[in-house]
């Protein structure tokens, strides 16, 4: 499977996906740390891909996304933006409902029954 196919598969599998340097608990750059903190503050689970562990994705995603920097937040297969946009949306109160609604929409029947 080539890198672009892997990226498309990741985006299809994970409705909320953050491409970042490091992990949410151990970010490897300040921008990724801030983006992950804003995401965690939304209170919903989200997937992430550590681009430092995936140099092929690190090389190909900026071309695929037409977005040169990391982190990158993708919701339902659409690029939302990088650190500045994530933080701005969070501060304006726009990120939280987007993440919450997306998480709700994609919960399994099992998870819905557990609430």
Query: What is the distance between the alpha carbons of residues 33 and 74, in angstroms, rounded to a whole number?
Result: 16
Q: Is 21 annotated as a binding residue?
A: yes
Q: Is 84 annotated as a binding residue?
A: yes
Picking from 10, 16, 9, 4, the residue whose alpha carbon sits closest to that of residue 59 is 4
Q: Is 70 annotated as a binding residue?
A: yes
Q: Is 8 annotated as a binding residue?
A: no
Element (H, E) at 75: strand 72-75
* Cβ pair 79, 72 in contact under 8 A: yes
| Angle, helices 3-13/55-65, rounded to nearest 10 degrees | 80
Q: Is 42 annotated as a binding residue?
A: no
Cis peptide bond N-terminal to 71, omega within 30: yes
The binding site for [2Fe-2S] cluster comprises 29
Q: Which residues are annotated as a binding site for glutathione?
A: 21, 58, 70, 83-84
List binding-site positions.
Answer: 21, 29, 58, 70, 83-84
């Amino acid at each position: 499977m080539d890198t672009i196919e892997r990226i498309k598969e990741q985006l299809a599998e994970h409705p909320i996906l953050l491409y970042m340097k490091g992990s949410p608990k151990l970010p490897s750059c300040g921008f990724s740390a801030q983006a992950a903190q804003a995401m965690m503050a939304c209170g919903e689970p989200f997937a992430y891909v550590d681009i430092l562990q995936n140099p092929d994705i690190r090389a190909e995603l900026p071309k695929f996304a037409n977005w040169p920097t990391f982190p990158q937040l993708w919701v339902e297969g659409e690029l939302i933006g990088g650190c500045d946009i994530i933080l701005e949306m969070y501060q304006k109160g726009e990120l939280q409902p987007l993440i919450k609604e997306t998480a709700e929409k994609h919960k399994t029947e099992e998870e819905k029954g557990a609430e």
